[in-house]
Structure 1
Amino acid sequence: MADFTIRPALPADGAFLADMVVEAANWRAGATRPRPAVLTDPVHSAYISGWQRPADRGVVAIGHDGTPVGAAWYRLFGADRPAYGFVATGVPELIIGVKPMWRAQGVGRALLRELTAAARAEGFARLALSVEHGNFALELYRSEGFGVVASTPTRDTMVRALR
């Protein structure tokens, strides 16, 4: 396991969360979704716009040198403005991103577990996410109790019961 710590996400972490949205969108090796294209996409930008709203919660992984290496957070979306993993009003959607050199070292799993515990502590019954087909993180999500509830030609929506 890599040497990192996890702390709560702060309002000042908005720029780093934007970086992690870009990392999440570019999960494939050699992916070429440019930062401006990702951050101007209405759905991707919804994951970070106005961070930190009252119901937003997140965690940030900090590497041994003190720099952030990954983050996971959740937001609530309405049926009138759903994000990729929207399942219902009142079900937060999780977003997670890890810098490439820190992937497959336990960072994503640790972030996911911390955020799941936070959602449970906040009283949420379920947590949702969206994952593109072929993304290796699908196995992580399955191993942490998420199951596919909907599928499109390019992505799956997954949900985990928290109670």
Structure 2
Amino acid sequence: MPDAFSIRPAVQADGSFLADMVVEAANWRSGAARARHEILTAPEHRRYISGWMRPADAGVVAVDQEGQAIGAAWYRMLSQDDPGFGFVGTAVPELIIGVQPIWRAHGVGRALLRDLVALARAHGHSRLSLSVEKDNFARALYRSEGFVGSEQGAARETMVHRLA
């Protein structure tokens, strides 16, 4: 299936698609879908897309053979005053990733993750962070790609990848 998609850099015009991927990430659990507007108007999710693409933002988008976006991974620098779920420090970008359900388990997430880690390294970052719900199947992917748990709450785990 790897030939079925390719990855390109994210651009400012991808903001709407990134919003779609925030909704997919929030609704990863089948049968528990929250409405798009509910997710995108909630401050805890809005921070990941509001004002995309700021100078410190970077990301990648997976596209199918027809050029349709199917997944994205990006990072943002968030402030201590408005931290994300996976905030570990002001100098550590927080990663967000989403893949359309039909494309999950086909290597899209892994390819996006690897490309974003390489991009962060090229931009001089020493670490990337993320947050994942403890029962999310993606935890295994993050661990296999070098993310290590740094903090655990009741339902979520913050993970960090050291890029050096």
Q: Same fold (TM over 0.5)?
A: yes
Amino acid at match of 1:110: A
Structure 2 CA distance for aligned equivalents of residues 143 and 133 of structure 1: 15
- Write out aligned runs for 1:51-66 (5 A): 51-66=52-67
CA distance in 1, matches of 2:137, 2:82: 28
Equivalent position SS for 1:47: coil
Tell me the number of residue pairs that the alignment of Structure 1 and Structure 2 aligns.
163
Supply the distance in 2 between the matched residues of 1:159 and 1:56 (Cα, whole angstroms).
18
Offset of 1:154 from its aligned partner?
A: 1.3
Residue in 2 aligned with 1:161?
A: 162
Which range moved further: 62-71 or 101-110?
A: 62-71
Residue deviations 1:56-103, cap 9 Å, x none?
Answer: 000000012221000000000111110100001110000000000000
Tell me the amino acid that sits aligned with residue 8 of structure 1: P
Equivalence for 2:122: 121
Question: How many angstroms apart in 2 are the aligned matches of 1:89 and 1:66?
Answer: 35
Identity %: 63
**Is residue 156 of structure 2 the alignment partner of residue 151 of structure 1?**
no
Distance 1:152 1:34 in 2: 25
Partner of residue 82, structure 1: 83
> In structure 2, what is the equivalent of residue 102 of structure 1?
103
Moved over 4 A (4+): none
The residue that corresponds to 2:42 in the other structure is: 41
- Where structure 2 has 5 or more consecutive residues not aligned to the other structure, the ranges are none
How far residue 49 of structure 1 moved from its aligned partner, in angstroms, is 0.1
Q: What is the one-letter code of the residue matched to 1:140? A: L
Q: How does the TM-score come out when normalised to structure 1?
A: 0.98
Q: Supply the distance in 1 between the matched residues of 2:162 and 2:67 (Cα, whole angstroms).
A: 33
In 2, Cα distance between equivalents of 1:102 and 1:32? 18
The code of the aligned residue for 2:33 comes to T
AA of the residue aligned to 1:122 = H
DSSP 3-state at the match of 1:16: helix
Structure 1, unaligned runs of 5 or more: none
Deviation at 1:31, TM superposition (A): 2.3
Give 2:137's aligned amino acid: F
SS of the residue corresponding to residue 94 of structure 1 reads: strand
Residue 133 of structure 1, CA deviation: 1.6
CA distance in 1, matches of 2:41, 2:66: 31
* Matched residue SS, 2:119: helix
Aligned to 2:131: 130
- Superposed CA RMSD: 0.7
